[in-house]
Amino acid sequence: MSAKLIDGKAFAATVREKVAAHVARLKEVHGVTPGLAVVLVGDDPASEVYVRSKGKLTVDVGMNSYEHKLPVDTPEADLLALIDRLNEDRDVHGILVQLPLPDHLDESLVINAIDPAKDVDGFHISNVGLLATGQESMVPCTPLGCLMMLRDHHGSLSGLDAVVIGRSNIVGKPMAQLLLGDSCTVTIAHSRTKNLPDVVRRADIVVAAVGRANFVPGDWIKPGATVIDVGINRIAAPEKGEGKSRLVGDVDFGSASLVAGAITPVPGGVGPMTIACLLANTVTACCRAHG
Ligand code: GUN
């Protein structure tokens, strides 16, 4: 392995320390404790794990955590009524509705019911528009975490060629907006992109967010490029025993780490930064609410 390992786990711990210090100051000086409400509809095991982890880390940095677990068949009107209550609740500064939602719920309607000022995911259409036009907004947590790691590694990103693989609303599109905001030359590649290996080979920065295990091999990577792997894919790992599995990214770490200049591991890369940025966004929302 020749690439420098970008340690998202350690970086996230430093971000959480800063968040905790900010929370302590808000309490001491303004008598305010930031509060994050997380809404989970249904009992998807992976979502339950994420929500539990978010709740624990929220409390660890000194904020209040409010968890709302609703049954899988919750009517849309009930979910919207809960969001209305959370919008009005002065103790709640951030609201996150865990995705994906069960099929009978209209995801876009639900997200856009959240007060944009409390939309710590940055998914509300107002925040999407503000980010796209370079104005102050809530920035989606995963792309924000990726940007922080890239800035930390490179200093300035100005003029670098960046390729984002994946065009989702949650990661690909906002990631491209953020890189553009830092004056990268940005290409958004996706499943229909022609000559994808050649497109990726041009990049100084590769952000892989396709949701397919080991999709990007090392021979697509320009020597010395920085690789940010957003993927979290569970694959069978018979070598660990029958029925065992392990997490891998969208990048084939073994081959890519021989070529890249720097790379994030999976796990321990982007994942911890996403939650740290969620906590940071909640503090930001609280500060804005209290002027
Ligand atoms: N499900 C997977 N990632 C996310 C995320 O960043 N926010 C929300 N709300 N749900 C998710």
- The closest alpha carbon to 60, from 22, 20, 10, belongs to 20
- Is 98 tagged catalytic? yes
Helix (H, G, I), strand (E, B) or coil at 214: coil
Ligand 1 atom 4, closest CA: 99
Residues 151 and 234 in one domain: yes
* Domains held by the chain: number: 2
Residues 59 and 163 in one domain: no
HSE-up of residue 269 (Cα within 13 Å, Cβ side): 29
Residues 177 and 114 in one domain: no
- The closest alpha carbon to 20, from 59, 68, 74, belongs to 59
d(CA 51, CA 43): 11
- Is 78 tagged catalytic? no
- Please give the residue range of the domain that contains residue 35: 31-119
Q: What is the pLDDT along the chain (291 residues), one digit of tens a residue?
A: 699 999 999 999 999 999 999 999 999 999 999 999 999 999 999 999 999 999 999 999 999 999 999 999 999 999 999 999 999 999 999 999 999 999 999 999 999 999 999 999 999 999 999 999 999 999 999 999 999 999 999 999 999 999 999 999 999 999 999 999 999 999 999 989 999 999 999 999 999 999 999 999 999 999 999 999 999 999 999 999 999 999 999 999 999 999 999 999 999 999 999 999 999 999 999 999 997
Pocket of ligand 1, candidates 44, 96, 230: which has the most ligand atoms within 8 Å of its Cβ, to mutate?
Answer: 96
User: Which CATH number belongs to the domain containing residue 226 in this structure?
Assistant: 3.40.50.720
Contact 36, 93 (CB under 8 A): yes
Residues 114 and 145 in one domain: no
- The closest alpha carbon to 122, from 8, 285, 9, belongs to 285
Residues 163 and 199 in one domain: yes
Residues 152 and 56 in one domain: no
Q: Which residues pair with 205 in a beta bridge?
A: 162, 226
